Chains A and B, each alone.
Chain A
Amino acid sequence: MASANQRTPEFEPPEPVGVRRPDSGPTGPVMLPGAGNAATARMLQGAPAGPAGLAELSRLAGNSQFARFVAQPPAPGGGAPPTPGGVGAGAHGGPVQELQVKLSRLQASALPLTEDGRYGPLTEAAVRNFQTSAGIVPVTGVADPVTKAAIDAAFAALPAPVRVQLALGATGPDVGFAQQKLNAVGANPRLVINAVFDAAMMVAVIAYEIAALHRFPNGTVDAALWTALDAGVKGGFVASEGASATPVEQNTPSGTADSLGAQVAGTSLHPVTGVGGLIQGPAVHELQQKLNTAGASPKLKDDGSFGPLTRTALQAFQSGRVPPLPATGTADKATWDALDVAAPASMTGAVERQWTEVVGGATYSMVGAGASHYSWEIQKTRMLVTAKVNFVGLAAPGAWFGHVEAMWNQYQGVDAASGRSLPIDFKMSSGGGGDANTVQVKPGTGRANAGEWFVADPNAAKTVPHEFGHLIGLQDEYQLHPGDYVRVTGHEPPVGDAAGPAVAPNVIATNLQNAMVARNSANAHAASVGAGVKGGAFAQRVVQEYAKLATVTVPAVAAVAGPPPVPAQPAVPLTGDLLFDLNAALPSDNNSYETIQTFSYSSGSIMGDPGRVSDPHDHGAQPRHLGEFVAILGRALGGTWEAKRR
């Protein structure tokens, strides 16, 4: 996990009410995608509406995009949150989190509250402030029903975000928010959140007008379109939170988060079990349960020990496939694939996840012996997820085990339809064997990685839970490409800084490429961070302009003794992908890291970079990180389970 001095993200305030006039912007001539130019031009000139016009326009963006818009589910987020009863100090859970959201937005807290679902002193003080300002007596700091009702009413009375009509050529944060929402409702291809109403955005706007508003398109994001987008997708504006009026960009949910690393193609999620593989433990439990579900006769005792009966049952299962699998007595990928079809659910499971991630333009992985190993068990009163670790070198300090539980044991699985709930507990245990992760415990301090931790790490309370996240298959959430960011977090990339400095993006892109050719990270930093580029929409315009540059090959360089030393580097053919190229061409130092940070996206969660990204809405362990386990609950117990704060 990266560590750095904390920074506060900077966001643009909302624009004043009014109609934004299209401006020339920095993007140069606007060209619409070829297939729809004529139709769009006629439409923009007031071509008659009607079925014929719609039919012509339907070719504009392709039927698939229209279909995606039409197929959108009902607007999420419209339902009322659960109503908490009176809650006070020491309370915790989803209702407390909802309370914190509202107190921050009502500016009852001093600063934006970290929405952790814990009713601590800051939350209590915010309730007191609200009670005082609302004239509620006595002032107790307890969110009793009267106070809660008043908070709900005040929150409901907050003015809606001011939306500005947008047309082709418009720029600014509102354009970025519209782009986020169009992506969230299915724009295909996804829009870059660059805060420029360009040709690509026009296509998405027109498609949405036709498919969702069922109107002849006018190519603008007007009041009706804003209303539809806001009804369909939460977030997408900047709110003043806390008495400090801290501007906080409200995340725009988009799709279903998948926080797991990308599974290596062709690999199994099951460890090899049985002959030549694991012969005891959770993997064998899972094997026995699935063999029983698949019809093992006689039924196997679910004892987690791979004995002769289990072997015979496994061979019988293998022989019974059509076509038969080799009756090896080894549950390999092919056998597990067949077992998963025959018996999708079990109450115990073992996972061996081989995965990769792209962070900061470099690819990292946990594969082979270094794959993520973990197991889960649905017990009577909880679901227990365990990552067994074979600590080599020094012994693991006892506090590390508590750090994992403090960070991760905050959620429960909830099936809203049936009302069932089950705490989901995480545990790091110490032990060896083929289903254990290996972690070297080194003396002193240093920057940990997934397989190397430092015994005297003063930040172990965060480092260990982050690295534990890797052991259960979660990938990093910092320095990501936009597509990876939205997949991993389930949020659209933030709009961030839409205006940028008084330097054209193409000039910055050219300067960056020159710095790469010279292998000069200080120049790259000066051309971007030093020039005033901050993360967000403007930075993405630089990324786009960089992709348009002619690619060149950066020549090889010999090692530099330094200090600071720089290793010899082979020639690097630049690709047009700014993150890849910055990583490949520049030395790994503070300048290059900060430059890459500017052009990428990071979350503030435990798997992200909370040292650099402060986000009261997205911090610590998040429900998305438990996605795999609530899905397992659904398969095993039926229903649709979600992770909720307990």
Chain B
Amino acid sequence: MILRLVIADGSQSPAVAESVEVAEDGALTGWRSVSDGGVGWFAGRLPAAELAEIQALIGAAGAAPPPARPRPEAAEEVLELTATGPVRIAGLTDGPGDWPRLAAASRRLLDRLTDFPRAAVGVSRTPGGGARLEHRGTDPVRVDLGTVAVTATAWRGYYEPAGDWAGEVTGPGEVEAGPEWTYDLPIGFEPAGPDVTVHLTADFVILSGPTRIPVRAKYTPDA
């Protein structure tokens, strides 16, 4: 491991509890709990150029930065490097300097992670306007769909609110989702108009052995 970033925020539900880790050979692994790109486990390999960029940033950063207090409402962000051990970086905002650049690059790795789903579930919009959970990756994942909280938010033009809906769908309970698996969630919301965009969220539970982890899959096509 040359870099590990963990972001956690228990003030919202489901909690944000996400991680990304880069190995010396570029292997990229991690977990997403609240994400546009699916929730669950992710694993892949960074192209050589991206790995070299990360390595260069790590090398430039060197010793741990001076403590920087985070802004109000900031989540906890802990970056762990071989040279420094765990360092809190929530106070490092984007900007010039080796550490801010490394912090920003590390945060981007969490988004990059979703390009490599291994055992994940995402949500999308069906042609009929409903929500659809779909497996992503190669490995199965156990999910509890006993109760799925769904929200739909419609936008017109440039993010002008055009209505919203929230409801709960009673699903089949615990199921194993593998490749090609989907599950449709009806929503009672049919926004009309050629320039309307609908965003969706679906809250459910992923099972990891005996551990139940509440997650939120998001569909934000313009994100």
* Closest partner residue, chain A, to B88 (CB atom): A567
* Closest partner residue, chain A, to B164 (CB atom): A458
Chain A proximity of B167: nearest CB distance (Å): 14
Residues of A within 8 A of B36 (CB): 444
Whether A588 contacts B10 in the complex (CB less than 8 A), given A366-B72, A447-B73, A568-B85, comes out as yes
A residues adjacent to B (C-beta < 8 A): 1-5, 356-357, 359, 362-367, 369-370, 395, 397-399, 440, 443-452, 455-456, 458, 467, 470, 475-476, 521, 559, 561-570, 587-594
* Closest partner residue, chain A, to B31 (CB atom): A563
Of B46-54, B125-133, B155-163, B179-187, the one contacting chain A is B155-163
Whether A356 contacts B86 in the complex (CB less than 8 A), given A445-B220, A564-B213, A588-B8, comes out as no
Q: Check A559–B80 contact: CB distance below 8 A.
A: yes
* Closest partner residue, chain B, to A455 (CB atom): B159
Cα separation A448 to B75 with both chains bound (whole Å): 9
Cα separation A587 to B21 with both chains bound (whole Å): 19
Chain A proximity of B97: nearest CB distance (Å): 12
A397, A470, A590: the one contacting B158 at CB < 8 Å is A397
Cα separation A397 to B73 with both chains bound (whole Å): 21
Q: Check B69–A364 contact: CB distance below 8 A.
A: yes
Q: Check A3–B86 contact: CB distance below 8 A.
A: no
**Does B170 lie at the interface of the complex (its beta carbon under 8 Å from any beta carbon of A)?**
no
**Does B55 lie at the interface of the complex (its beta carbon under 8 Å from any beta carbon of A)?**
no
Cα separation A348 to B223 with both chains bound (whole Å): 41
Residues of A within 8 A of B201 (CB): 445
B residues adjacent to A (C-beta < 8 A): 4, 6, 8-19, 21, 30-31, 33-34, 36, 41, 69-76, 78, 80, 85-86, 91, 93-95, 151, 153, 155, 158-161, 164, 199, 201, 206, 208, 211, 213-214, 218, 220, 222-223
Q: Check A592–B223 contact: CB distance below 8 A.
A: no
Chain A proximity of B203: nearest CB distance (Å): 12
Q: Check B160–A399 contact: CB distance below 8 A.
A: yes
Chain A proximity of B32: nearest CB distance (Å): 9
Chain B proximity of A25: nearest CB distance (Å): 34
Q: Check B159–A399 contact: CB distance below 8 A.
A: yes
A-B contact pairs, 19 of them (CB 8 A): A3-B12, A364-B70, A365-B69, A366-B71, A443-B220, A443-B223, A449-B70, A449-B72, A450-B72, A451-B71, A456-B155, A458-B161, A470-B72, A476-B73, A562-B31, A563-B206, A564-B31, A588-B75, A590-B214
Residues of B within 8 A of A593 (CB): 10-11, 15
Q: Check A559–B86 contact: CB distance below 8 A.
A: yes
Q: Check A367–B218 contact: CB distance below 8 A.
A: no
Q: Check A444–B73 contact: CB distance below 8 A.
A: no
* Closest partner residue, chain B, to A568 (CB atom): B86
Q: Check B71–A370 contact: CB distance below 8 A.
A: yes
Known contacts A458-B161, A564-B8, A588-B10; 16 additional CB pairs below 8 A are: A3-B12, A4-B11, A362-B70, A444-B220, A450-B71, A456-B199, A470-B71, A562-B17, A565-B8, A567-B8, A567-B19, A567-B78, A567-B86, A588-B76, A589-B10, A589-B17
Majority secondary structure, A binding face: loop
For A357, A359, A364, A592, which residue has the most chain B Cβ atoms within 10 angstroms?
Answer: A364
Residues of B within 8 A of A444 (CB): 36, 199, 218, 220, 222-223
* Closest partner residue, chain B, to A557 (CB atom): B86
Residues of A within 8 A of B153 (CB): 456, 458
Q: Check A398–B164 contact: CB distance below 8 A.
A: no
Q: Check B12–A359 contact: CB distance below 8 A.
A: no
B31, B69, B95: the one contacting A363 at CB < 8 Å is B69
Whether A447 contacts B9 in the complex (CB less than 8 A), given A395-B158, A456-B153, A458-B153, comes out as yes
Residues of A within 8 A of B199 (CB): 444-445, 456, 458
* Closest partner residue, chain A, to B209 (CB atom): A563
Cα separation A517 to B92 with both chains bound (whole Å): 29
Q: Check A4–B13 contact: CB distance below 8 A.
A: yes
Cα separation A489 to B208 with both chains bound (whole Å): 44
Majority secondary structure, B binding face: strand
For B6, B14, B153, which residue has the most chain A Cβ atoms within 10 angstroms?
Answer: B6
Q: Check A2–B19 contact: CB distance below 8 A.
A: no
* Closest partner residue, chain A, to B34 (CB atom): A446
For A4, A356, A399, A444, which residue has the most chain B Cβ atoms within 10 angstroms?
Answer: A444
Cα separation A446 to B160 with both chains bound (whole Å): 17
Cα separation A564 to B10 with both chains bound (whole Å): 12
For B8, B73, B158, which residue has the most chain A Cβ atoms within 10 angstroms?
Answer: B73
Cα separation A144 to B161 with both chains bound (whole Å): 39
Q: Check B31–A449 contact: CB distance below 8 A.
A: no
Q: Check A590–B15 contact: CB distance below 8 A.
A: yes
Q: Check B223–A566 contact: CB distance below 8 A.
A: no
Q: Check B223–A564 contact: CB distance below 8 A.
A: no
Whether A447 contacts B75 in the complex (CB less than 8 A), given A563-B208, A568-B80, A589-B8, comes out as yes
Cα separation A367 to B69 with both chains bound (whole Å): 9
Cα separation A449 to B160 with both chains bound (whole Å): 21
Q: Check B31–A565 contact: CB distance below 8 A.
A: yes
Q: Check B16–A566 contact: CB distance below 8 A.
A: no
Q: Check B10–A590 contact: CB distance below 8 A.
A: yes
Residues of B within 8 A of A395 (CB): 158
Residues of B within 8 A of A2 (CB): 11-12, 73
* Closest partner residue, chain A, to B4 (CB atom): A559
Cα separation A570 to B67 with both chains bound (whole Å): 14
Chain A proximity of B12: nearest CB distance (Å): 5
Q: Check B73–A448 contact: CB distance below 8 A.
A: yes
Residues of A within 8 A of B75 (CB): 447, 449, 588
Residues of A within 8 A of B222 (CB): 443-444, 456
Cα separation A357 to B9 with both chains bound (whole Å): 18
Residues of A within 8 A of B15 (CB): 564, 588-590, 593
Residues of B within 8 A of A397 (CB): 158-160
Chain B proximity of A446: nearest CB distance (Å): 8
Q: Check A449–B17 contact: CB distance below 8 A.
A: no
Cα separation A396 to B31 with both chains bound (whole Å): 30
For A369, A458, A470, A565, which residue has the most chain B Cβ atoms within 10 angstroms?
Answer: A565
* Closest partner residue, chain B, to A562 (CB atom): B31
Residues of B within 8 A of A563 (CB): 17, 31, 33, 41, 206, 208, 211, 213
For A366, A397, A445, A563, which residue has the most chain B Cβ atoms within 10 angstroms?
Answer: A563
Chain A proximity of B212: nearest CB distance (Å): 10
* Closest partner residue, chain A, to B223 (CB atom): A444
Q: Check B161–A561 contact: CB distance below 8 A.
A: no
Residues of A within 8 A of B85 (CB): 568, 570
Chain A proximity of B195: nearest CB distance (Å): 14
Residues of B within 8 A of A450 (CB): 71-74
B11, B80, B95: the one contacting A447 at CB < 8 Å is B11
Q: Check B10–A591 contact: CB distance below 8 A.
A: yes
Residues of B within 8 A of A451 (CB): 71, 93
Whether A458 contacts B151 in the complex (CB less than 8 A), given A364-B71, A565-B6, comes out as yes
A365, A455, A568, A592: the one contacting B78 at CB < 8 Å is A568
Residues of A within 8 A of B6 (CB): 559, 565-567
Q: Check A564–B95 contact: CB distance below 8 A.
A: no
Chain B proximity of A61: nearest CB distance (Å): 38
Residues of B within 8 A of A587 (CB): 8, 10
Residues of A within 8 A of B151 (CB): 458
* Closest partner residue, chain B, to A396 (CB atom): B159
Cα separation A449 to B71 with both chains bound (whole Å): 7
Cα separation A364 to B93 with both chains bound (whole Å): 13
Residues of B within 8 A of A359 (CB): 72
* Closest partner residue, chain B, to A583 (CB atom): B76
Cα separation A253 to B40 with both chains bound (whole Å): 49
B74, B80, B94, B223: the one contacting A449 at CB < 8 Å is B74
